[in-house]
Amino acid sequence: MRRLPGGRARESHWRMFPFRASPSGRQENGDKMRVIGIDPGLRNLGWGVIDVAGSRLAHVANGICHSDGGDGDLAVRLLSLHAQLTEVLRAWTPEAAAVEHTFVNKDAVATLKLGQARGIALLVPAQFGLAVGEYAPNAVKKTVVGVGHAAKVQVDHMVRLHLPGVKIAGPDAADALAVAICHAHHVQSSGRLAAALRAAE
């Protein structure tokens, strides 16, 4: 609601959220949940969508958002990533999201730029009303591979085992699918804990 001169109110027709997720992050028609994992990057931002039904995982889609503008205007590149990721969420309608933490290295400028790209990865799901889980790279690898310092090739291999028949768009998409799998595992674990606590009451 906006105020016009003279105190009159004008109804705003701008809507921030294209849709709203259910508060629990689950579909209204059962225990099936759609999760998007995002691997932030300024040049290449990976994304992967899976369906989770109990202990079963199913691949839905994956891909990579490439920022426009090359090494030029940072604002243009961030806008490009925002627009592309928005279309991904609009197309695949996930109900939960997870983003990998930024890895801090010795190059402060590169780390700052990666952090800005990660801001886009957090912002877009939030604009769709989704709660966003955040996981350290080692936590993702530990969950998916079983080793916290696994190589990318090991992550790719285990993602393919978890999602038989999947065609992965590239290493960034594989990492994003791993983030989605990690989130699904933690959601399942927290659900089992909550059920156990309810049973103990």
Would you please indicate which residues are annotated as catalytic (active-site) residues? 39, 100, 172
CA dihedral 161, 85, 122, 49 (to 10 degrees): -20
The gap from C-alpha 79 to its chain's centroid, in whole angstroms, comes to 17
Task: Give the total residue count for the chain.
Answer: 201
CA–CA gap between residue 92 and residue 50 (Å, rounded): 10
> How many C-beta atoms surround the C-beta of residue 187 within 10 A?
19
Task: Write the CA distances from 1 to 4, 7, 126, integer angstroms.
Answer: 10, 12, 21
